[in-house]
Each structure stands twice: as C-alpha cells, then as structure tokens.
Amino acid sequence: MNRRIALKHLALVTGGMALIPSCDFSSNDIISAYEKLQITVSEKDLLGSISNTIIPAGEIKGALDIEVPDFILVMVNDCMNAEQQQKFLTGLRAFPQYVKTQTGSAFSKLSDNGREEIIKEGLKAEEVENDATKFFLNTAKRLTIQGYMASEYIQTEVIPYSLIPGTYDGAVLISDIQKPRING
C-alpha cells in the first residue's frame, strides 16, 4: 500500500475521531406517525412514564408493556378536534415545568410514590395556569385506562372476553368459577 494514501486515511480518521465528541447524535425529531400532532420522542417517553405510573407493571403487564402511549397518541390524533389536540400538547409540554415547580426535580428522577402524588395533585389542581396540564392529565388518565382495558392482552389473558354469553348452568358454586368472563 502506498504510504501517502495510508497517511491521508490516518489523518481523516484522526480528524473524524476528534469531531465525534462534539457531535450531538441524540435527535429529538418529530414523530411522523401522528399527522396532526407535532410530538417528539422525549414527549412520547414522558407520556409513557405517566401512563406507566397510572397503571404500573406488577403481577400482570403494565401500561408501558402493552404500548398504551401509542394508543393515547392515536386517539388524540384521530378523535380530538384541533383545539383539544393543542390543549393536550400544551399540557404535555407544560407538565415537566409543573413537576419542577412542585417538587424541584424532574419527573423521571422522582420515586414511584412521588410520581403518583404529583399526578394526583395535577388532577386536583384548581389554578387557572394549570388548566392545560389538568386537561392533559385527565385525558392521559382516561385514555390510559381505556387503552389498557381494551388491549388484546387484557381481553385474552387476564379477563377472557366472550362475544356471546356462554351456556347457562344454574348449579355452579361461586368457588368453582376460575376466571371472570366479560360478555359483550
């Protein structure tokens, strides 16, 4: 191999290595799946943390495990008018500042009990400045519960869904029933 070419390549690699630490590869691009919402990845992660605080994982999967934040964003994108969408986004973007004002730290740094308390306080807030935050939290809570209960996981594994009522058997003891059935 030619020594000049090797030195040129070595200089290019060394220069590139010197520039890499100054580059910011953490892009916070707008997610394109939701046409009407201008939502970023970090905002979606915050919504995931909030929904996981509302329904955490335990013996069964939590809201984040069955991708409830995607359900929330689809419902807001498709089922709300422009004014409600804007109010939801305003509340979502104001929530980190609300948490910082109330607790002095970021939502992600709070303990599980601290997260629960700040969400409860936000739902009860009477202040006018927190109107968008309160709307956001109420909507997120309602859609988290709706998305969780309507998920395939809940409907097939936790509470089996039966489209039509089963057969009638009047001589069954309650203690013999294994799983509750939801009849549609």
Question: What is the tens place of the pLDDT at every residue in 95-121?
Answer: 999 999 988 999 989 999 999 999 998
For residue 128, what pLDDT band results from cuts at 50, 70 and 90?
very low
Residues 52, 40, 37, 97: is their CA dihedral positive or negative? positive
Note whether residue 75 is domain-resident.
yes
Note whether residue 153 is domain-resident.
yes
Q: Domain residues for 99?
A: 41-159
Note whether residue 152 is domain-resident.
yes
pLDDT at 35 over 70: yes
Lowest mean pLDDT among 75-79, 82-86, 146-150, 160-164: 160-164
Q: Which residues sit opposite 162 in a β-bridge?
A: 183
- Environment class of residue 137 by beta-carbon count within 10 Å: exposed (0-12), middle (13-18) or buried (19+)? buried
Note whether residue 19 is domain-resident.
no
**Six token digits for residue 176:** 């013999």
SS3 at position 86: helix
Note whether residue 82 is domain-resident.
yes
> pTM of the entire structure?
0.71
Q: What is the pLDDT of residue 184?
A: 47
Note whether residue 28 is domain-resident.
no
Note whether residue 22 is domain-resident.
no
Note whether residue 52 is domain-resident.
yes
Cα(94)–Cα(102) distance, integer angstroms: 12
> Can you tell me which residue has the tokens 């010197």?
18
Q: What is the pLDDT of residue 157?
A: 86
Cα(104)–Cα(79) distance, integer angstroms: 35
pLDDT at 87 over 70: yes
Helix (H) or strand (E) holding 142: helix 131-149
Q: What is the pLDDT of residue 10?
A: 75
How many residues are given for the chain? 184
End-to-end CA distance of the chain: 75
Domain count, the chain: 1
DSSP state of 154: I
pLDDT greater at residue 54 or residue 129: 54
- Environment class of residue 135 by beta-carbon count within 10 Å: exposed (0-12), middle (13-18) or buried (19+)? middle
